[in-house]
Copies of this chain bind each other. A is one copy, B any other.
Amino acid sequence: MSARQMHLRVFVLGTGNHIAGWRMPDAYDSFQSLPVIQHIARIAERGCFDLLFLGDGLQAGANDHPSFTARFEPITMLAALAATTTHLGLGATASTSYNEPFNVARYFASLDHLSGGRAAWNAVTSSNPRAAPNFGRDHPPHAERYRVAEEFVDVVLGLWDCWEDGAIVADRATGRYIDAAKVHRLDHEGTYFRVQGPLNIGRCPQGRPIVLQAGSSEPGLDLAARTADVVFSVVQDLDEAKAAYAALKSRLPRFGRRAEDVAVLPGVMPILGRTRQEARDVLDRLQSFVTSTNAASLLSSRLGIDVSGFAPEDKVPDLPLPDTSHGFARAMLSKARREGMTWRDLHNLTGAARGHWVIAGTAADIADTLQEWFEGGAADGFNILPAWFPGAFDGFVDEVVPELQRRGLFRRNYTATTLRGHLGLDMPRSRYG
Protein backbone atom coordinates (compact mmCIF):
# COMPACT_ATOMS: atom_id res chain seq x y z
CA MET A 1 0.00 0.00 0.00
CA SER A 2 1.32 3.35 -1.08
CA ALA A 3 1.28 6.27 1.34
CA ARG A 4 1.29 8.69 -1.56
CA GLN A 5 -2.26 9.31 -2.76
CA MET A 6 -3.63 10.16 -6.17
CA HIS A 7 -5.51 13.37 -6.84
CA LEU A 8 -8.50 13.20 -9.14
CA ARG A 9 -10.20 15.99 -11.04
CA VAL A 10 -13.24 15.66 -13.26
CA PHE A 11 -13.35 17.82 -16.35
CA VAL A 12 -16.96 18.82 -16.91
CA LEU A 13 -18.44 19.61 -20.27
CA GLY A 14 -22.18 19.14 -19.91
CA THR A 15 -22.55 17.28 -23.20
CA GLY A 16 -19.59 15.06 -22.39
CA ASN A 17 -15.91 15.38 -23.23
CA HIS A 18 -16.34 13.32 -26.36
CA ILE A 19 -17.55 15.63 -29.11
CA ALA A 20 -20.56 13.39 -29.76
CA GLY A 21 -21.00 11.97 -26.24
CA TRP A 22 -24.40 13.67 -25.95
CA ARG A 23 -25.72 11.22 -28.56
CA MET A 24 -25.32 8.24 -26.20
CA PRO A 25 -28.75 6.96 -25.18
CA ASP A 26 -28.17 7.51 -21.46
CA ALA A 27 -26.67 11.00 -21.81
CA TYR A 28 -28.62 13.84 -20.22
CA ASP A 29 -31.47 15.27 -22.27
CA SER A 30 -30.64 18.88 -21.60
CA PHE A 31 -27.32 20.53 -20.92
CA GLN A 32 -27.93 24.16 -20.01
CA SER A 33 -29.41 23.02 -16.75
CA LEU A 34 -28.26 23.56 -13.19
CA PRO A 35 -29.65 20.21 -11.95
CA VAL A 36 -27.51 18.40 -14.53
CA ILE A 37 -24.28 19.98 -13.30
CA GLN A 38 -25.37 19.52 -9.68
CA HIS A 39 -25.89 15.84 -10.42
CA ILE A 40 -22.39 15.58 -11.88
CA ALA A 41 -21.02 17.30 -8.76
CA ARG A 42 -22.81 14.79 -6.52
CA ILE A 43 -21.21 11.92 -8.44
CA ALA A 44 -17.80 13.59 -7.98
CA GLU A 45 -18.33 13.97 -4.23
CA ARG A 46 -19.49 10.35 -4.00
CA GLY A 47 -16.17 9.46 -5.65
CA CYS A 48 -14.19 11.66 -3.19
CA PHE A 49 -12.74 13.63 -6.11
CA ASP A 50 -10.42 16.50 -5.24
CA LEU A 51 -11.89 18.84 -7.78
CA LEU A 52 -14.58 19.49 -10.35
CA PHE A 53 -13.37 21.65 -13.20
CA LEU A 54 -15.13 23.79 -15.79
CA GLY A 55 -13.16 25.00 -18.77
CA ASP A 56 -14.11 28.12 -20.65
CA GLY A 57 -13.89 29.88 -23.95
CA LEU A 58 -14.88 33.34 -25.07
CA GLN A 59 -16.42 32.56 -28.44
CA ALA A 60 -19.09 30.36 -29.99
CA GLY A 61 -18.87 28.50 -33.27
CA ALA A 62 -21.75 26.51 -34.73
CA ASN A 63 -19.59 23.49 -35.58
CA ASP A 64 -17.47 23.52 -32.46
CA HIS A 65 -17.77 21.01 -29.60
CA PRO A 66 -21.39 21.49 -28.46
CA SER A 67 -20.31 22.44 -24.95
CA PHE A 68 -18.00 25.10 -26.37
CA THR A 69 -20.83 26.65 -28.38
CA ALA A 70 -23.46 27.04 -25.67
CA ARG A 71 -22.20 26.80 -22.13
CA PHE A 72 -22.68 28.16 -18.65
CA GLU A 73 -20.29 30.91 -17.69
CA PRO A 74 -18.09 28.87 -15.32
CA ILE A 75 -17.61 31.31 -12.41
CA THR A 76 -21.36 31.65 -11.93
CA MET A 77 -21.79 27.89 -12.27
CA LEU A 78 -19.14 27.19 -9.62
CA ALA A 79 -20.79 29.65 -7.25
CA ALA A 80 -24.06 27.78 -7.67
CA LEU A 81 -22.25 24.51 -6.93
CA ALA A 82 -20.55 26.07 -3.88
CA ALA A 83 -23.98 26.33 -2.27
CA THR A 84 -24.95 22.72 -2.99
CA THR A 85 -21.73 20.74 -2.38
CA THR A 86 -19.70 20.29 0.78
CA HIS A 87 -16.21 18.94 0.07
CA LEU A 88 -15.54 19.07 -3.64
CA GLY A 89 -12.93 21.52 -4.91
CA LEU A 90 -14.35 23.86 -7.56
CA GLY A 91 -12.12 25.07 -10.36
CA ALA A 92 -12.80 27.25 -13.37
CA THR A 93 -10.96 28.94 -16.16
CA ALA A 94 -10.66 32.71 -16.40
CA SER A 95 -8.64 34.33 -19.14
CA THR A 96 -5.64 36.55 -18.45
CA SER A 97 -6.05 38.12 -21.89
CA TYR A 98 -9.67 39.29 -21.71
CA ASN A 99 -10.24 40.20 -18.06
CA GLU A 100 -9.11 42.69 -15.44
CA PRO A 101 -6.96 41.18 -12.66
CA PHE A 102 -8.92 43.09 -9.98
CA ASN A 103 -12.15 41.48 -11.18
CA VAL A 104 -10.69 37.97 -11.46
CA ALA A 105 -9.13 38.22 -8.00
CA ARG A 106 -12.52 39.17 -6.58
CA TYR A 107 -14.47 36.40 -8.35
CA PHE A 108 -12.23 33.66 -7.01
CA ALA A 109 -11.83 35.19 -3.55
CA SER A 110 -15.60 35.43 -3.33
CA LEU A 111 -15.92 31.81 -4.52
CA ASP A 112 -13.45 30.76 -1.88
CA HIS A 113 -15.55 32.40 0.83
CA LEU A 114 -18.80 31.03 -0.62
CA SER A 115 -17.42 27.50 -0.72
CA GLY A 116 -15.56 27.58 2.58
CA GLY A 117 -12.14 27.20 0.94
CA ARG A 118 -12.70 25.13 -2.20
CA ALA A 119 -12.02 27.58 -5.04
CA ALA A 120 -9.41 27.17 -7.78
CA TRP A 121 -8.55 29.47 -10.67
CA ASN A 122 -7.26 28.06 -13.95
CA ALA A 123 -5.22 30.89 -15.43
CA VAL A 124 -5.26 30.63 -19.22
CA THR A 125 -4.14 33.03 -21.92
CA SER A 126 -7.04 32.13 -24.29
CA SER A 127 -5.41 30.45 -27.26
CA ASN A 128 -8.38 30.82 -29.60
CA PRO A 129 -8.03 33.96 -31.72
CA ARG A 130 -11.78 33.98 -32.34
CA ALA A 131 -12.20 35.48 -28.85
CA ALA A 132 -10.57 38.75 -29.90
CA PRO A 133 -13.45 40.17 -32.00
CA ASN A 134 -15.74 39.86 -29.00
CA PHE A 135 -13.47 42.25 -27.13
CA GLY A 136 -12.71 44.71 -29.91
CA ARG A 137 -9.04 43.97 -30.09
CA ASP A 138 -6.39 41.99 -31.87
CA HIS A 139 -5.48 38.62 -30.40
CA PRO A 140 -2.04 39.07 -28.85
CA PRO A 141 0.66 36.69 -30.11
CA HIS A 142 1.62 33.72 -27.92
CA ALA A 143 4.73 35.26 -26.36
CA GLU A 144 2.96 38.48 -25.46
CA ARG A 145 -0.03 36.62 -24.03
CA TYR A 146 2.37 34.86 -21.66
CA ARG A 147 4.15 38.08 -20.67
CA VAL A 148 0.71 39.52 -19.83
CA ALA A 149 -0.23 36.32 -17.99
CA GLU A 150 2.92 36.37 -15.83
CA GLU A 151 2.07 39.86 -14.64
CA PHE A 152 -1.67 39.17 -14.38
CA VAL A 153 -1.11 36.15 -12.12
CA ASP A 154 1.28 38.14 -9.92
CA VAL A 155 -1.30 40.89 -9.50
CA VAL A 156 -4.02 38.41 -8.56
CA LEU A 157 -1.75 36.63 -6.05
CA GLY A 158 -0.81 40.02 -4.63
CA LEU A 159 -4.42 41.15 -4.30
CA TRP A 160 -5.24 37.94 -2.43
CA ASP A 161 -2.55 38.89 0.11
CA CYS A 162 -3.83 42.42 0.82
CA TRP A 163 -5.94 41.38 3.79
CA GLU A 164 -4.24 39.64 6.67
CA ASP A 165 -6.10 37.22 8.87
CA GLY A 166 -7.90 39.04 11.64
CA ALA A 167 -8.30 42.31 9.73
CA ILE A 168 -12.05 42.23 10.26
CA VAL A 169 -12.53 43.00 13.93
CA ALA A 170 -16.28 43.83 14.05
CA ASP A 171 -16.18 44.88 17.70
CA ARG A 172 -19.75 45.81 18.58
CA ALA A 173 -18.72 47.54 21.81
CA THR A 174 -16.29 50.04 20.28
CA GLY A 175 -17.72 50.24 16.75
CA ARG A 176 -14.34 49.31 15.27
CA TYR A 177 -14.99 47.16 12.21
CA ILE A 178 -11.63 46.97 10.44
CA ASP A 179 -8.07 46.84 11.77
CA ALA A 180 -6.63 49.07 9.08
CA ALA A 181 -3.06 48.01 9.98
CA LYS A 182 -3.89 44.55 8.60
CA VAL A 183 -5.20 45.78 5.23
CA HIS A 184 -2.54 46.65 2.65
CA ARG A 185 -2.36 48.31 -0.71
CA LEU A 186 -0.63 46.35 -3.43
CA ASP A 187 0.54 49.37 -5.45
CA HIS A 188 1.48 47.25 -8.43
CA GLU A 189 3.03 49.24 -11.31
CA GLY A 190 3.98 46.94 -14.14
CA THR A 191 4.26 46.79 -17.90
CA TYR A 192 0.65 45.81 -18.54
CA PHE A 193 -1.18 46.58 -15.31
CA ARG A 194 -1.32 49.24 -12.63
CA VAL A 195 -3.37 48.02 -9.68
CA GLN A 196 -3.49 49.81 -6.36
CA GLY A 197 -5.62 47.52 -4.18
CA PRO A 198 -6.51 46.44 -1.60
CA LEU A 199 -9.19 44.01 -2.71
CA ASN A 200 -12.59 44.67 -1.11
CA ILE A 201 -13.00 41.22 0.43
CA GLY A 202 -11.31 39.71 3.48
CA ARG A 203 -8.60 37.04 3.42
CA CYS A 204 -9.72 33.76 1.87
CA PRO A 205 -10.41 30.57 3.83
CA GLN A 206 -7.59 28.94 1.83
CA GLY A 207 -5.34 31.96 2.36
CA ARG A 208 -5.22 32.10 -1.41
CA PRO A 209 -7.43 30.10 -3.80
CA ILE A 210 -5.62 27.26 -5.57
CA VAL A 211 -3.99 28.13 -8.92
CA LEU A 212 -4.37 25.69 -11.81
CA GLN A 213 -2.56 25.76 -15.12
CA ALA A 214 -2.30 23.69 -18.27
CA GLY A 215 0.20 25.37 -20.56
CA SER A 216 2.70 23.09 -22.26
CA SER A 217 4.82 25.60 -24.16
CA GLU A 218 8.09 26.84 -22.64
CA PRO A 219 6.56 30.08 -21.32
CA GLY A 220 3.52 28.09 -20.16
CA LEU A 221 5.71 25.66 -18.20
CA ASP A 222 7.64 28.53 -16.65
CA LEU A 223 4.47 30.26 -15.53
CA ALA A 224 3.13 26.99 -14.11
CA ALA A 225 6.39 26.15 -12.32
CA ARG A 226 6.50 29.58 -10.74
CA THR A 227 2.85 30.06 -9.73
CA ALA A 228 0.64 26.95 -10.08
CA ASP A 229 -0.46 24.48 -7.42
CA VAL A 230 -1.87 21.96 -9.91
CA VAL A 231 -0.85 21.43 -13.53
CA PHE A 232 -2.79 19.51 -16.18
CA SER A 233 -0.92 17.85 -18.98
CA VAL A 234 -2.31 16.73 -22.32
CA VAL A 235 -0.51 13.59 -23.40
CA GLN A 236 -1.09 10.54 -25.58
CA ASP A 237 1.07 7.88 -23.95
CA LEU A 238 3.28 7.03 -21.00
CA ASP A 239 6.49 8.35 -22.54
CA GLU A 240 4.90 11.70 -23.30
CA ALA A 241 3.43 11.80 -19.81
CA LYS A 242 6.80 11.10 -18.20
CA ALA A 243 8.41 13.80 -20.30
CA ALA A 244 5.71 16.34 -19.42
CA TYR A 245 5.97 15.40 -15.73
CA ALA A 246 9.74 15.79 -15.70
CA ALA A 247 9.60 19.01 -17.69
CA LEU A 248 7.44 20.60 -15.01
CA LYS A 249 9.02 19.10 -11.89
CA SER A 250 12.58 19.80 -13.00
CA ARG A 251 11.72 23.44 -13.42
CA LEU A 252 10.48 23.92 -9.85
CA PRO A 253 13.83 24.39 -8.04
CA ARG A 254 14.57 27.32 -10.36
CA PHE A 255 11.65 29.09 -8.64
CA GLY A 256 12.53 27.92 -5.13
CA ARG A 257 9.82 25.29 -5.09
CA ARG A 258 9.80 21.57 -4.26
CA ALA A 259 8.42 18.69 -6.34
CA GLU A 260 5.60 18.15 -3.82
CA ASP A 261 4.43 21.76 -4.14
CA VAL A 262 2.82 21.11 -7.51
CA ALA A 263 0.60 18.18 -8.54
CA VAL A 264 0.81 17.14 -12.19
CA LEU A 265 -2.37 15.51 -13.53
CA PRO A 266 -2.44 14.10 -17.09
CA GLY A 267 -5.83 14.08 -18.78
CA VAL A 268 -7.42 10.71 -19.51
CA MET A 269 -10.68 9.65 -21.06
CA PRO A 270 -11.52 6.24 -19.58
CA ILE A 271 -13.79 4.04 -21.72
CA LEU A 272 -15.04 1.30 -19.48
CA GLY A 273 -16.43 -2.14 -20.32
CA ARG A 274 -17.08 -5.34 -18.43
CA THR A 275 -14.69 -6.85 -20.98
CA ARG A 276 -12.04 -5.29 -23.18
CA GLN A 277 -14.20 -6.04 -26.20
CA GLU A 278 -17.15 -4.24 -24.64
CA ALA A 279 -14.98 -1.20 -23.94
CA ARG A 280 -13.77 -1.17 -27.56
CA ASP A 281 -17.40 -1.43 -28.71
CA VAL A 282 -18.33 1.60 -26.61
CA LEU A 283 -15.50 3.59 -28.15
CA ASP A 284 -16.48 2.47 -31.64
CA ARG A 285 -20.04 3.52 -30.95
CA LEU A 286 -18.91 6.94 -29.78
CA GLN A 287 -16.71 7.35 -32.85
CA SER A 288 -19.61 6.38 -35.11
CA PHE A 289 -21.46 9.43 -33.76
CA VAL A 290 -18.80 11.87 -34.94
CA THR A 291 -19.81 13.84 -38.02
CA SER A 292 -17.10 14.97 -40.40
CA THR A 293 -18.25 18.60 -40.08
CA ASN A 294 -17.82 18.93 -36.34
CA ALA A 295 -14.63 16.87 -36.18
CA ALA A 296 -12.98 18.97 -38.90
CA SER A 297 -14.09 22.15 -37.20
CA LEU A 298 -12.74 21.08 -33.81
CA LEU A 299 -9.49 19.92 -35.39
CA SER A 300 -9.13 23.21 -37.28
CA SER A 301 -9.63 25.10 -34.04
CA ARG A 302 -7.09 22.98 -32.16
CA LEU A 303 -4.45 23.11 -34.88
CA GLY A 304 -5.09 26.74 -35.72
CA ILE A 305 -5.35 25.97 -39.47
CA ASP A 306 -8.34 25.22 -41.68
CA VAL A 307 -8.30 21.49 -42.45
CA SER A 308 -11.78 21.30 -44.02
CA GLY A 309 -10.23 21.17 -47.50
CA PHE A 310 -8.50 17.83 -46.92
CA ALA A 311 -10.29 14.59 -47.80
CA PRO A 312 -10.90 12.23 -44.83
CA GLU A 313 -9.02 9.38 -46.51
CA ASP A 314 -5.89 11.45 -47.24
CA LYS A 315 -2.81 10.87 -45.15
CA VAL A 316 -1.97 13.71 -42.79
CA PRO A 317 0.95 15.65 -44.34
CA ASP A 318 3.69 17.53 -42.54
CA LEU A 319 2.18 20.96 -41.94
CA PRO A 320 3.61 24.08 -40.37
CA LEU A 321 1.48 25.11 -37.37
CA PRO A 322 0.86 28.74 -36.46
CA ASP A 323 1.69 30.40 -33.19
CA THR A 324 -1.96 30.15 -32.12
CA SER A 325 -2.13 26.35 -32.10
CA HIS A 326 -2.35 24.46 -28.81
CA GLY A 327 0.93 23.05 -27.54
CA PHE A 328 -0.45 19.53 -27.69
CA ALA A 329 -1.70 20.06 -31.26
CA ARG A 330 1.93 19.73 -32.26
CA ALA A 331 2.18 16.42 -30.42
CA MET A 332 -0.97 15.09 -32.10
CA LEU A 333 0.23 16.11 -35.51
CA SER A 334 3.58 14.43 -35.03
CA LYS A 335 1.86 11.30 -33.71
CA ALA A 336 -0.38 11.28 -36.80
CA ARG A 337 2.66 11.58 -39.05
CA ARG A 338 4.59 8.93 -37.09
CA GLU A 339 1.70 6.45 -37.25
CA GLY A 340 0.71 7.23 -40.84
CA MET A 341 -2.81 8.37 -39.91
CA THR A 342 -5.44 9.63 -42.31
CA TRP A 343 -7.39 12.80 -41.59
CA ARG A 344 -10.31 10.59 -40.51
CA ASP A 345 -8.06 8.91 -37.92
CA LEU A 346 -6.96 12.28 -36.65
CA HIS A 347 -10.57 13.56 -36.59
CA ASN A 348 -11.53 10.59 -34.48
CA LEU A 349 -8.61 11.05 -32.14
CA THR A 350 -9.42 14.74 -31.68
CA GLY A 351 -13.17 14.28 -31.52
CA ALA A 352 -12.78 11.68 -28.81
CA ALA A 353 -10.88 13.67 -26.25
CA ARG A 354 -9.50 16.79 -27.96
CA GLY A 355 -6.00 15.30 -27.95
CA HIS A 356 -6.10 13.71 -24.50
CA TRP A 357 -5.15 10.12 -23.87
CA VAL A 358 -8.03 7.63 -24.33
CA ILE A 359 -7.90 4.31 -22.49
CA ALA A 360 -10.46 1.58 -23.14
CA GLY A 361 -10.64 -1.52 -20.94
CA THR A 362 -12.06 -3.11 -17.82
CA ALA A 363 -11.99 -1.36 -14.44
CA ALA A 364 -8.93 -3.44 -13.49
CA ASP A 365 -7.18 -2.55 -16.78
CA ILE A 366 -7.80 1.12 -16.22
CA ALA A 367 -6.70 0.98 -12.57
CA ASP A 368 -3.55 -0.93 -13.63
CA THR A 369 -2.63 1.75 -16.11
CA LEU A 370 -3.37 4.66 -13.76
CA GLN A 371 -1.27 2.93 -11.10
CA GLU A 372 1.57 2.38 -13.55
CA TRP A 373 1.57 6.06 -14.50
CA PHE A 374 1.19 7.21 -10.90
CA GLU A 375 4.05 5.05 -9.63
CA GLY A 376 6.16 5.45 -12.76
CA GLY A 377 6.94 9.15 -12.56
CA ALA A 378 4.24 10.25 -14.98
CA ALA A 379 1.45 11.55 -12.73
CA ASP A 380 0.41 12.71 -9.25
CA GLY A 381 -3.16 11.88 -10.17
CA PHE A 382 -5.46 12.35 -13.14
CA ASN A 383 -7.73 14.74 -14.91
CA ILE A 384 -10.66 12.46 -15.74
CA LEU A 385 -12.59 13.32 -18.91
CA PRO A 386 -15.81 11.27 -19.01
CA ALA A 387 -16.87 10.77 -22.62
CA TRP A 388 -20.48 11.55 -21.68
CA PHE A 389 -22.50 12.29 -18.55
CA PRO A 390 -23.68 10.77 -16.35
CA GLY A 391 -23.07 7.18 -17.54
CA ALA A 392 -19.34 7.31 -18.22
CA PHE A 393 -18.67 9.19 -15.00
CA ASP A 394 -20.87 6.94 -12.88
CA GLY A 395 -18.95 3.98 -14.29
CA PHE A 396 -15.58 5.43 -13.35
CA VAL A 397 -16.68 6.38 -9.83
CA ASP A 398 -18.47 3.10 -9.13
CA GLU A 399 -15.95 0.71 -10.65
CA VAL A 400 -12.50 2.26 -11.11
CA VAL A 401 -12.40 4.42 -7.95
CA PRO A 402 -13.12 1.46 -5.61
CA GLU A 403 -10.35 -0.47 -7.37
CA LEU A 404 -7.93 2.41 -6.72
CA GLN A 405 -9.13 2.56 -3.09
CA ARG A 406 -8.57 -1.20 -2.59
CA ARG A 407 -5.01 -0.70 -3.80
CA GLY A 408 -4.48 2.10 -1.26
CA LEU A 409 -3.93 4.65 -4.02
CA PHE A 410 -6.88 6.92 -3.38
CA ARG A 411 -8.80 8.26 -0.36
CA ARG A 412 -11.91 6.38 0.81
CA ASN A 413 -13.30 9.47 2.52
CA TYR A 414 -12.55 13.14 2.55
CA THR A 415 -10.20 13.97 5.41
CA ALA A 416 -10.16 17.74 4.81
CA THR A 417 -12.79 20.36 4.05
CA THR A 418 -10.77 22.59 1.72
CA LEU A 419 -9.24 21.91 -1.67
CA ARG A 420 -5.87 22.94 -0.25
CA GLY A 421 -6.40 20.27 2.37
CA HIS A 422 -7.27 17.60 -0.24
CA LEU A 423 -4.08 18.48 -2.09
CA GLY A 424 -1.99 18.35 1.11
CA LEU A 425 -0.69 21.87 0.56
CA ASP A 426 0.28 24.29 3.32
CA MET A 427 -1.70 27.42 4.06
CA PRO A 428 0.20 30.38 2.58
CA ARG A 429 0.99 33.39 4.73
CA SER A 430 0.20 36.85 3.42
CA ARG A 431 3.34 38.60 2.17
CA TYR A 432 2.39 41.39 4.56
CA GLY A 433 1.65 39.17 7.59
Contact = CB atoms under 8 A, between A and B. Distances in A.
A107 B200 contact: no
Contact of A136 (B38, B194, B291): B194
Contacts of A84: 83-84
Interface stretch (A4-12, A60-68, A336-344, A406-414): A60-68
Interface in A146-178: 163, 167-168, 170, 172, 175, 177-178
Given A22-B177, A31-B170, A200 B70 contact: yes
A218 B177 CA distance: 37
A109 interface: yes
B109 A73 contact: yes
Interface string A89-132: 00000000011101100110111011010000000000000000
B291 A175 contact: yes
Nearest to A100: B135
A197 interface: yes
A150 B70 CA distance: 27
Contacts of A32: 113, 168, 201-202
A308 B109 CA distance: 33
Interface stretch (A74-82, A262-270, A275-283, A319-327): A74-82
Interface string A165-200: 001101010010110100100000000011111111
Interface in A40-88: 57-60, 62, 66, 68-73, 75-84
Given A23-B175, A76-B111, 18 more contacts: A20-B175, A22-B170, A23-B172, A29-B170, A33-B113, A34-B113, A34-B116, A38-B83, A59-B200, A60-B198, A69-B177, A70-B163, A75-B107, A76-B114, A80-B80, A102-B134, A133-B195, A133-B196
A110 B59 CA distance: 15
A68 B200 contact: yes
Given A34-B82, A34-B83, A81-B83, A60 B199 contact: yes
A291 B173 CA distance: 12
Contacts of A30: 170
The 6 closest A-B pairs by CB, nearest first: A136-B194, A79-B79, A73-B110, A133-B196, A60-B200, A62-B180
A100 B95 CA distance: 12
A104 to B, nearest CB: 10
Interface of A: 15, 20, 22-23, 25, 27, 29-34, 38, 57-60, 62, 66, 68-73, 75-84, 98-100, 102-103, 106-107, 109-111, 113-114, 116, 133-136, 163, 167-168, 170, 172, 175, 177-178, 180, 183, 193-202, 289, 291, 294
Contacts of A76: 75-76, 78-79, 107, 110-111, 114
A183 to B, nearest CB: 6
Contacts of A111: 76
11 contacts: A60-B200, A62-B180, A70-B167, A72-B114, A75-B79, A76-B111, A79-B79, A79-B80, A84-B84, A98-B100, A134-B196
A262 to B, nearest CB: 26
Contacts of A58: 102, 200
A367 B77 CA distance: 39
A77 B110 contact: yes
A62 B183 contact: yes
Contacts of A116: 34
Contacts of A167: 70
Contacts of A199: 60
Nearest to A176: B291
A100 to B, nearest CB: 6
Most buried by B among A20, A27, A75: A75
A114 B23 contact: no
A80 B77 contact: no
A72 B114 CA distance: 8
Contacts of A291: 175
Contacts of A109: 73
Contacts of A83: 34, 38, 80-81, 83-84
